[in-house]
Amino acid sequence: MAAPDILPPKGVRPPIIGPGQTFGTITDRIAGIVLTKHTPIFWVAIVAISLALFGMLQTAVGYLLVKGVGIWGITIPIGWGFAIVNFVWWIGIGHAGTLISAILLLFKQTWRTSINRFAEAMTIFAVMQAGLFPLIHTGRPWLAAYWLFPIPLTMGVWPQFRSPLIWDVFAVSTYFTASFLFWGIGLIPDFATLRDSAKTLVVRRIYGMLAMGWRGSAKHWNRYETAYMLLAGLCTPLVLSVHSVVSLDFAVSVVPGWHTTFFPPYFVAGAIYSGFAMVLMLAIPFRYLYGMQDFITLRHLQNCGKLMLATGQIVAYSYAMEMFIGWYSHDKYELAMVNNRLHGPYSHYYYMLILCNILIPQSLWLNKVRSTPWMLFLVAVVVNTGMWLERFVIVVMSLQRDFIPSSWGMYWFTKWDMMIFIGTMGFFTLLFFIFIRLMPAISIFEMRNLIPQAKVKE
């Protein structure tokens, strides 16, 4: 275990890497998590719990496939329910990874280095959970292939390219592929390090195959860096496009509460907000459990807190605008939507949302909160709860009461909804901890770049 967090005196920012590190110590500390024969007891405990939750997910999905989506709480007029709420929530969480690895790289924010690897892994695993929901929401996922993708079949039926739902398929699958490539290309030199530090032949062979013969040649690094920067440049508009397209699923319709032009930036800000909350929810236990305080320092936590604060203000502004435009439009359906949020049957969800996403996160203005890991962790949990409530408010409260009172309805989720939702959290945690055990959770080669010895002296 590393030394506990010490906050430097006022006016001095904590370093992005602890003092006294060398190329060798960085390599040994990070590779040591993977190459040790000793599996920590907390790892076994966490994986056991998440395996149990994953089992629950499989059971619930299995029953869903046998019985159909009738086991969920969805009814007309609320046909989207938990599946779409959870889809948008997970895909939003998946946004911070690429933001950290691509946008912060282009802005030369070197502090991103120690959190980018596991944030990318988080992105991939979150997008996997997200992708599950629309698939099972179709009820017959084995048919979803030709509903979603342009596949030549004898029926001659093709997807409708004018629909945002099909844009969504392309956006999410491109995002998954690009994030996976970005993560994979970053892992190649680190696999080479694991190959060269492995103690047994089998381990050396496995990481050797994954490293594909990487030998750190300057000519290779030169092409590698070009490819990496180009990927970052490509992923930057991509990450902004994904949640914009998700928001168009709503905004292109005519339902009051969905039909607004400012949905894309509002959704993107919310996605980054929840993504950074999830980064903190993973980074704080990780650095504590593995004693990584020298690599993920208070500086990283503070910066994530600041980014949450900034995106949280954009989200707050969007909530205000949503209500203001509803009133300003003088459209009776928009006014009814505002009224429904404030006084309707689900208004407690709306007030909880304001509490979780606007009021409590204001505590991030205080340096004390940003520099105290457990406080930051609590705020992150609250924000992710709030972001889930936001999607519930958008999906359910808008569908619940549209134009004609005779078609109004209510939505009650069932235990199967809950089991699948909590099951995906277990699946996510399971994948994440398997990743930590088998692959370097912090980019080793990029960390070497951060220490003073790495610079060429003139």
Partner 1 sequence: MTASAIYGLMAEFETPTELVEAAKGAYAAGYRKMDAYTPYPLEEAAEAIGAHHNRVSLVVLVGAMLGMVGGYSLEYWVSAVAYPINVGGKPFHSWPAFIPVTFECAVLGACLAAVFGMLALNGLPQPYHPVFNAPNFVRASRDRFFLCIESQDPRFSPSDTRKLLESYKPEEITEVPY
- Binding residues (CB under 8 A) for partner 1: these are 22-24, 27, 150, 156-162, 164, 166-167, 170-171, 174, 177-178, 181-182, 184-185, 189, 192-193, 195-197, 212-227, 230-231, 234-235, 237-238, 241, 245, 248, 445-446, 448-449, 453-457
Taking the complex as a whole, how short is the minimal distance between the CB of residue 163 and partner 1, in angstroms? 8
Helix 332-343 / helix 298-328 crossing angle, nearest 10 deg:
130
Residue with tokens 């949640």: 243
DSSP string for 64-82: HHHH-GGGSS--SS--SHH
Is the CB of 343 or the CB of 457 nearer to partner 1?
A: 457
Taking the complex as a whole, how short is the minimal distance between the CB of residue 169 and partner 1, in angstroms? 9
Is the CB of 7 or the CB of 454 nearer to partner 1?
A: 454
Distance CA 125, CA 2 (A): 29
Taking the complex as a whole, how short is the minimal distance between the CB of residue 155 and partner 1, in angstroms? 10
Contact 120, 97 (CB under 8 A): yes
Helix 201-211 / helix 164-197 crossing angle, nearest 10 deg:
140
Closest CA relative to residue 116, chosen from 220, 235, 11, 217: 235
Taking the complex as a whole, how short is the minimal distance between the CB of residue 148 and partner 1, in angstroms? 12
Is the CB of 197 or the CB of 363 nearer to partner 1?
A: 197
Here the tokens at position 149 are 């993708």
Calculate the alpha carbon distances from 90 to 125, 259, 337, 352 in Å: 9, 22, 26, 20
Is the CB of 208 or the CB of 326 nearer to partner 1?
A: 208
Is the CB of 76 or the CB of 218 nearer to partner 1?
A: 218
Would you give the end-to-end CA distance of the chain in angstroms?
37
Is the CB of 107 or the CB of 161 nearer to partner 1?
A: 161
Is the CB of 22 or the CB of 367 nearer to partner 1?
A: 22
Is the CB of 123 or the CB of 357 nearer to partner 1?
A: 123
Here the tokens at position 152 are 């030549």
Distance CA 249, CA 265 (A): 14
Taking the complex as a whole, how short is the minimal distance between the CB of residue 232 and partner 1, in angstroms? 10
Distance CA 104, CA 108 (A): 6
Calculate the alpha carbon distances from 96 to 16, 218, 272 in Å: 19, 31, 5
Taking the complex as a whole, how short is the minimal distance between the CB of residue 136 and partner 1, in angstroms? 23
Taking the complex as a whole, how short is the minimal distance between the CB of residue 447 and partner 1, in angstroms? 9
Taking the complex as a whole, how short is the minimal distance between the CB of residue 26 and partner 1, in angstroms? 9
